Structure 1
Amino acid sequence: MIYAHIDDARNYSGLGEVFAWAVRQLARADLKELSPGTTELIPGKAWFSIDEPETKPLERTLFEAHREFVDVQMTIAGDELIGCAPLGRVTPLGEYDEDRDIQFFKGEGLTLDCTGGMFAVFFPEDAHRPCVAPGTPRRIRKIVAKIHRSLIPHRELS
Structure 2
Amino acid sequence: MIFGQLDGAHPYGFLDKAIQRCFDYCRETDLKALALGSYPIEDQDIFVNIVSYETGTSQDRSWEAHRKYLDIHVMLDGTETIEMAFISKMDQGTFDPDADNLPLTGTAQCGISLMPGDFLICYPEDGHKPGVCVSDPQVIKKAIFKVRI
Same fold (TM over 0.5): yes
| Kept in 2: contact 1:122–1:128 (CA 8 A) | yes
Q: Percent identity?
A: 27
Aligned to 2:95: 96
Range that drifts further, 68-77 or 27-36: 27-36
- Could you say what secondary structure the match of 2:103 adopts? strand
| Aligned residue type for 1:99 | D
* Aligned partners of 2:78 and 2:116 also within 8 Å: no
Runs in 1 of length 4+ with deviation above 6 angstroms? none
Cα distance in 2 for residues equivalent to 1:145 and 1:40: 10
- Change over 3 Å in CA distance of 1:51–1:28 after alignment to 2: farther
Question: CA separation in 2, counterparts of 1:17 and 1:132?
Answer: 30
- In structure 1, the partner of 2:32 is 32
TM-score, scaled to structure 2: 0.91
**2:79–2:116 Cα contact (<8 Å) kept:** no
SS where residue 96 of structure 1 aligns?
Answer: coil
Output the amino acid matched with 1:89. K
Q: Deviation of residue 24 (structure 1)?
A: 2.4
Q: Which residue of 1 aligns with 2:59?
A: 59
What do the CA deviations read for 1:91-143 (whole angstroms, capped 9, x no partner)? 22x31101000011122221001113221000111111111111222221000
Under a length normalisation based on structure 1, what TM-score does the superposition of the two structures give?
A: 0.86
Unaligned residue ranges in structure 2 (runs of 5+):
none
5+ long unaligned stretches in structure 1: 150-158
Counterpart check, 1:69 vs 2:88: no
> Could you report, residue by residue, the CA deviation over 1:33-73 in whole angstroms, capped at 9, with x for unpaired residues?
11111111222211011111221211111210001111000
User: Contact 1:26 / 1:143 at 8 angstroms: preserved in 2?
Assistant: no
Deviations 1:77-104 (A, max 9, x none): 0111111111111222x31101000011
User: Deviation at 1:29?
Assistant: 6.2
* AA matched with 1:7: D
SS in 1 for 2:85: strand
Number of equivalences? 148
CA contact (8 A) 1:70 1:122 kept: yes
Q: What are the equivalent positions in structure 2 for 1:1-158 lying under 5 Å apart? A: 1-28=1-28, 30-92=30-92, 94-107=93-106, 108-149=108-149
**How far apart, in 1, do the equivalents of 2:75 and 2:7 lie?**
15
SS of alignment partner, residue 52 of structure 1: strand
